[in-house]
Amino acid sequence: MVEFTRKDIEDLLRLIDGSDFDELKLEMGDLKLELRRRGSAPAEAASAEQAFSPAPLKGETRAAASATVTTDAPVIASGGGSEVPAPLLGTFYHAPKPGAEPFIKIGDTITSDTVIGVIEVMKLMNSVSAGVEGVVTEIIAADGQLVEHGQALIRVQPALP
Amino acid sequence: MTAIKRIFIANRGEIAVRIIRTCRALGIETVLGVSEADRESLGARLATRTVCLGPSPAAESYLKVPTIVHAAVGFGCDAVHPGYGFLSENRALAEACVENGLIFIGPDPENLEAVGDKLTARGHAEAAGVPLVPGASGATVADSDELAAKIGFPMLIKAVAGGGGRGMKRVDRREDLAAQIDLAISEAAAAFGDGRIYVERYVTIGRHVEVQIISDGETVLHAGERDCSVQRRYQKVVEEAPAPRLPHKLRSGLLDAAVRFARHIRYRSLGTVEFLVDVEREEFYFLEMNARIQVEHPVTEATTGLDLVELQIAIAEGRPLRIGQQDIRTSGHAIECRLNAEDPENNFMPSPGRITQAWFPSLPGLRVDTHMQPGAMIPPFYDSMVAKLIAWGETREEAIEVMRRALKVCQLDGVKTNARLHEAIMNDAEFQRGGVDTAYLAGLLSTVAEGEKGG
């Protein structure tokens, strides 16, 4: 096991600061570290569920709305697991039709081909495959929610190799 | 009449910011649909809300009609503003908006149909009594006398099956006509397997002059003309209003013709009727109508004091125009320079990258429409225009002087730009005299290149 200290993080920050890269992702065993330059777009959208829910904008202040656009603190320590991003903008449904069983539940073991939901764009249904193998730990996007491209739909604890 | 409360903006760059500006002033909320590459753009930061439509290539984001309409409905918008380019004149988007209870901020699908196709638009121009470039199709040697009288010289013979400049012949003298027609027919038959030819008047010295139309469907107004003759490969580089040194007869002729055309097709929205001005013959010919807000609209705003985006929104709401032709008075002269992220010394290669410094201070008479700020990223996926400098003066000389100052003062670092080309144009005696033709810029560029070779 490698010990990862605060100094190591500072060294990494200096490294990315002096480089042309906007983002650094590091995975060592259980540790997962993402560093991102301020103002740079995340490669995978930071999920901001409230910001993009289809609820009316009324009553929200402009400052609050725009604050959600600027992303994050520079260091994100993820609790592990991969997020499955929405491959396209549309309305996300958990089940093939209203009242039917959902495609997946928390605790299900899935493969990368497993359909996790459908995204509707103007009456056209697009099935969404997981793209990863593992166990479903969280269903992030609500049923019937308008999701944007790249928004996190579910979280999966990847299968051990 | 429906008051618009929330607009979905289906565009990017400076025009997204420009639309947000007017929406804020009117108290209208904005939802900006962006691609992945534009998540951190100025527009994305200024809009009431921003939503990611899809990946960076425009075909997967800005050009996706169903995605845009789904997002606009999902976010509770009442209208869609398409800006310019992308889906701005797309009939499928206009129709999808109608079907989903959204107002398309632009003309209705019928208007788009009337101007969308060049042949259809020419038919309407003819019916409205708007002059077209004189021409004739299916010509043979036997028609020579008639062609010479109707079209005159120089004349261009084109192969019907040709295109993009292929199979074209220029005829300068009456005595050469019959032989050239014969030759063109046999060459066309050999090259394209189709011997049909089309003959039209050739304009040696042409200027691009266009007219801004504002119409609520009943009242059709013009807001003067713009001269966009400074072009490189059919891309406008500098635009100005009014058109300098344009004979009065031509100016009033094309303003009238533009209004006549818009009225004939019952046009309702902002639009622009483009003309080719034949300098030698002192005539003008209809080219096409653009059914959108134009890139160069600020020069009209600078000389008329109108907010064209506000008028466009009001017309889309179904409000009758509250101004008449007598209320539109032009004053002074305005010039726009399009600042592009491109390298003039390397064949105008696009120059994407991160902006390290962007400084456009306010100077008397200067307006800057841009989405640039320090740290902004110019992605490689879209067009290279990064800012528009608009200079206004009481006279054309003053406007040029304001622009020269602006080009000296303003700064945009991190990418290569065509700023020095604009300085060369503003300092050029021929441009300063006014009334240059569409071949002007190519000539200036080769002169500059020659000068640099000679040391």
Confidence of residue B119 (pLDDT cuts 50, 70, 90): confident
| Closest chain A C-alpha to B301 CA, distance in angstroms | 28
Whether B53 sits inside 8 A of A151 (CB atoms) is no
Residue B209 has pLDDT above 70, yes or no: yes
Confidence of residue B159 (pLDDT cuts 50, 70, 90): confident
Q: Scanning every residue of chain A, which has its alpha carbon at the shortest distance from the alpha carbon of B54?
A: A149
Domains and CATH numbers, chain B: 6-105 (3.40.50.20), 135-201 (3.30.1490.20), 206-453 (3.30.470.20)
Co-location of A95 and A56 in the same domain? no
Q: Domain containing A147 — which CATH number? A: 2.40.50.100
Co-location of A55 and A125 in the same domain? no
Pairwise pLDDT comparison (B308 vs A8), residue with the higher score: B308
Co-location of A115 and A67 in the same domain? no
Average pLDDT, chain B: 95
Q: What are the pLDDT digits (tens) for B166-202?
A: 778 899 999 999 999 999 999 888 888 888 888 999 9
Q: What pLDDT, on the 0 to 100 scale, is given for residue B105?
A: 98
Examine the fold and report which residue of A60, A77, A94 is the final residue of a domain before the chain moves on.
A77
Co-location of A136 and A85 in the same domain? yes
Q: Which two tokens stand for residue B84?
A: 């310019």
Q: What pLDDT, on the 0 to 100 scale, is given for residue A134?
A: 95
Q: What are the pLDDT digits (tens) for A110-145?
A: 999 999 999 999 989 999 999 999 999 999 999 999
Task: Check if the beta carbon of residue B290 is closer than 8 Å to that of residue B212.
Answer: no
- Residues in chain B with CB shorter than 8 Å from the CB of A150 are 36, 52
Q: Scanning every residue of chain A, which has its alpha carbon at the shortest distance from the alpha carbon of B99?
A: A122
* ipTM for this model: 0.79
3-class secondary-structure state, position B194: coil
Q: What pLDDT, on the 0 to 100 scale, is given for residue B180?
A: 92
Co-location of A102 and A116 in the same domain? yes
Co-location of A55 and A94 in the same domain? no
With vertex at residue A50, the alpha carbon angle to CA A46 and CA A52, rounded to the nearest 5 degrees, is 70
Co-location of A71 and A90 in the same domain? no
Co-location of A97 and A61 in the same domain? no
Examine the fold and report which residue of A55, A77, A99 is the final residue of a domain before the chain moves on.
A77
Whether B53 sits inside 8 A of A89 (CB atoms) is yes
Q: What pLDDT, on the 0 to 100 scale, is given for residue A49?
A: 38
Residue B448 has pLDDT above 90, yes or no: no
| Closest chain A C-alpha to B340 CA, distance in angstroms | 23
Q: What pLDDT, on the 0 to 100 scale, is given for residue A48?
A: 37
Pairwise pLDDT comparison (B61 vs A54), residue with the higher score: B61
Please compute the mean of the pLDDT values over residues B404-423 and round it to a whole number.
97
Global pTM value? 0.83
Co-location of A92 and A132 in the same domain? yes
The domain of A84 spans 80-161
Co-location of A130 and A149 in the same domain? yes
Q: What pLDDT, on the 0 to 100 scale, is given for residue B191?
A: 85
Give how many domains chain A has, as a whole number. 2
Examine the fold and report which residue of A77, A109, A137 is the final residue of a domain before the chain moves on.
A77
Beta strands A90-93 and B357-359: pairing type?
Answer: unpaired
Co-location of A157 and A133 in the same domain? yes
Whether A122 has its CB under 8 Å from any CB of chain B: the answer is: yes
- Residues in chain A with CB shorter than 8 Å from the CB of B44 are 69
Q: What percent of chain B has pLDDT over 90?
A: 86
Co-location of A61 and A108 in the same domain? no
Confidence of residue A3 (pLDDT cuts 50, 70, 90): low
Alpha-carbon B392 to chain mean position? 20
3-class secondary-structure state, position B73: helix
